[in-house]
Amino acid sequence: MYTDLQSNQSPHDFKCLAPKKYQDKPKTNAEPDTRPKHQSLSKTMRPEHKRMSRVLGYCLTLADADSWASFSALAAARLSAEERGALALAALMSLDCSEQAVAVAETALSHAGSPLPPFLSPMDDARWWASFASLNERKAYALAAYEALPLKEQMAFRRHISEMEIAA
């Protein structure tokens, strides 16, 4: 607790013992700040973290898909896998319910969407698409494609799969 030095002056003026600056009441001399000095957190942050903080602010302001895609690319370049994982976990935990978190995580993990029409080689395009598709997407499209085949082609496909199992 601070007291006003001017109200506690002794008849002997010990100016050398009094603090140099003191402020407790209006119109008294200023008191030095005795609170512990804390270094600003931004001065201790790593430069890549400062940059990512700014990028996050830009994305929140712009609020469009291109900004968030750029954020993902920059995060991959500037943050470690552990930092990105912690960021993803914190974002998922901030959602209102677990169903939202699951929906967001599934969206992030299964990003292939529908296969595109083939360009030159349907098999190459199908293999490319399958490399990005989630397990559920691959199963659904494989079953639907199989069921859409004529019976003769289904039998040929079964033979092909059986031969691959024997070879493996």
Given a cut of 70, whether residue 37 has pLDDT beyond it is: no
Lowest mean pLDDT among 100-104, 109-113, 117-121, 142-146: 109-113
CA distance linking residue 92 with residue 154, whole number of Å:
43
Report the alpha-carbon angle 141-143-146, nearest 5: 105
**Structure tokens of 139?**
């199963």
- The residues near 152 (Cβ < 8 Å, ≥ 6 apart) are none
What percent of the chain clears pLDDT 70, i.e. is strictly above it? 73
Domain boundaries, the chain: 1-35, 45-109, 122-167
User: What is the DSSP track for 89-140?
Assistant: HHHHHTSSSHHHHHHHHHHHH----SPPPPSS-HHHHHHHHHHHS-HHHHHH
